[in-house]
Chains A and B, each alone.
Chain A
Amino acid sequence: MTDDHEPFGALRPATPPAALRDRALAAARAALATRPASPDVWTRVARNRAVRFGWAAVVAALALAHVVVSLPKPATRARAAVVSPRLGSGSAPELAPLVRMAAIDPAARGAGSGRSPADKENGS
């Protein structure tokens, strides 16, 4: 099994010259002082990619939910079909509430035949 550190023995890598510290830090301090002012926390939040992606996902989800909720339901369409012919047949306006009330209960569609439940039982 080879020993990784054997080729270098006690040798240690070169270190930077002492004079470099002042030179490098002076230039870095100047760069730090002249950089544009750090953005405030709200600007940083707005620039954050994860936040922006999350915001876009929420907007898309809300838009989709709005579309789904806004779609007319099948029962509503059927009710409209039941109600519309009655209203369009020239019925008296005072009968419109009765028509609408009958439309609430799909089973009440049969009430439009004019036969009372008692008549239906007697077969007349």
Chain B
Amino acid sequence: MAAVKYRRRIDAAGDDPYDAEAWRGLFRAIAGGRVEALERLYDLAAGRVYGLAAWRLGSAEDAADVTHDVFVRVAESADRLREVDDPRAWLLAVTHRLAVDHARRRRRHRTTPLEDHVFFEVDVSHRVERIAVTAVLARLPDKQREAIFLHHFAGCTFAEVGRITGVPTFTAASRYRLGLNKLRAILEGES
């Protein structure tokens, strides 16, 4: 029952629920050179892509750059899109790799202050909560934040999180649990 209740939170990244067959159709259309399919894919997937980049990098500007690069990469890889079995995982894996490369190039350190709107939508009614949780998330390692976003907001299983980030399933689950536990401990300690 807890699993059912939890799964209703999937795809809370502001996108439509994930429909693998529809996305594969879009990939095939993009492979055929159809521009409107690219636009539709952006509307379906940009929330997850941007969110992952933002949670990994801790910067709205960097997340925008990575999102831009992801969709350019989609277009450049159009010929190979027909062979992609799981478009969401493919897109998020590309996002992960580009975010890691971007972080290396920018050499962003953890001490860089994060904007309070990086991780969450600006919502006046939950401003205090947003600022508090953002401050705590900023203290987590990038990999744990990334795992939390992928599993909690992007609706990925731990196996998918592992494939996207290039680690075993157990490692992905550990990162998620450690991050969440640390988050709760800090929030409860401060409250």
Residues of A at under 8 Å CB distance from B?
Answer: 1-17, 20-21, 23-25, 27-32, 35, 38-39
Q: Which of these, A2, A4, A13, A35, contacts B75 with CB under 8 Å?
A: A35
Those of B130-156 within 8 Å (CB) of chain A: 130, 133, 149, 152-153
Among A2, A11, A14, A21, the most chain B Cβ lie within 10 Å of the Cβ of A14
Residues of chain B with a CB closer than 8 A to A17's CB: 60, 64
* Interface range on chain B (Cβ under 8 Å from partner): 35 or more
Those of B1-28 within 8 Å (CB) of chain A: 2, 6, 9, 12-14
Q: Which of these, B50, B75, B119, contacts A16 with CB under 8 Å?
A: B50
Instruction: Give the secondary structure class of B's interface.
Output: helix
Residues of B at under 8 Å CB distance from A?
Answer: 2, 6, 9, 12-14, 30-33, 35, 38-39, 42, 46-47, 49-51, 54-55, 60, 63-64, 67-68, 70-72, 74-76, 78-79, 117-121, 123, 126, 129-130, 133, 149, 152-153, 180, 183-184, 187
Q: Which residue of B lies closest to A39 (CB)?
A: B79
Known A-B contacts A8-B133, A11-B129; A21 and B42 likewise in contact (beta carbons under 8 Å): yes
Residues of chain A with a CB closer than 8 A to B126's CB: 9-11
A-B contact pairs, 18 of them (CB 8 A): A6-B184, A10-B129, A13-B12, A13-B13, A13-B55, A13-B119, A14-B60, A15-B121, A16-B64, A24-B67, A24-B68, A24-B71, A27-B75, A30-B75, A32-B38, A32-B75, A35-B79, A38-B33
